[in-house]
Amino acid sequence: MGSRQQRNANRSSDSRRGFRRYAHMVWRQKRVAAAHVLLLVILLAAALADLYPIDASRLDLSLHLEPPTLSHKEGEFPRLLGTDPLGRDLLARLLQATRLSLYVGVLAVAVACGVGTLLGLLAGFIGGLLDHVVMRIADALLALPFVVLAIAIVAAIGPSFMNIIFVLGLTGWVTFARLVRAEVLRVREMDHVEAARAIGCSQWRLLFVHVWPQVVGLVLVTITLTLGQMIIAEATLSFLGLGIPPPTPTLGGILSNAQTYFFSAWWLVVFPGIFLVVIVLCANLIGDFLRDYLDPRLKL
């Protein structure tokens, strides 16, 4: 019992030291620190979108294309980012759309990561026919641009929340599979894996105890970098009318509806674009930082 408590205490101490080291390294790089703060603010704002005092679906044609303003009628909340052609508050709709984009992005990455990582692990470690089949399927999917393939599948099965997640996960697993397979091929030849194989460890123990811990860092970095790609892909599908159907607000859908008002109502284009750029840029900056942070060969 004492030994178990000691191990738990050691893990807790290691976790605290790891967190302090991570926070210290983030603070040393101002752009990365800003990316963490901005992404956290966006996540909190999107999570609390329902608390915003203006209903995102409320129509008021008397407020048709109102520009951003801090002034407001008594008893009403100011339209901080203006309104759309139907008088709906743009900030309220952007908060709802951002939350939906993050939902889709996270769930799509989860599907892509689960499928791609498992296939990459097995293909790289087992090899043979399985490796050949998985890589040929991956090559076939890579022959078509990511967005074109997603558009083709959505057009065939129809747009909906679950279909978008399925399509993005189905088309996004290739990145995980190829990267994980390449890393497994490198790790399985390392000395400690050969030593474990020599003393009679089973294949599954070799894979999940000795190989997987060496691969998990690469998977975490790929998750972060792929999140931005998934959010952009969902926005692209919504912009083309193949995303989540109205009246659910999406960043791509808001931008698509704003095309007609590009010169007469600039806020309908600028603010959704800023939201989209900031989310993707923050995710990519954090992914780049994690890549260096988890690489023992680099010193930040």
Per-residue pLDDT of the chain (300 residues; tens, 9 = 90+): 445 555 555 555 556 676 777 777 888 888 989 998 999 999 999 999 888 888 888 888 888 888 888 877 766 788 889 889 888 999 999 999 999 999 999 999 999 999 999 999 999 888 889 999 999 999 888 887 777 888 888 888 888 888 899 888 888 899 999 999 999 998 888 888 888 888 888 888 888 888 888 888 889 889 988 998 899 989 988 898 888 888 889 999 999 988 888 888 899 999 999 999 999 999 999 988 888 777 655 554
Amino acid in position 169: G
CATH code assigned to 30-49+91-293: 1.10.3720.10
**Residue 234 vs residues 97, 114, 153, 277: alpha-carbon distances, Å:** 11, 19, 13, 14
For residues 243 and 249, is the Cβ–Cβ distance under 8 A?
no
Question: What's residue 12's pLDDT?
Answer: 56
Task: Give the start-end residues of each E strand in the chain.
Answer: none
Which of helix, strand or coil describes residue 264?
coil
Is the pTM for the entire model greater than 0.95?
no
d(CA 258, CA 102): 21
What end-to-end distance do the CA atoms of the chain give, in Å?
39
Tokens of 32: 């990365």
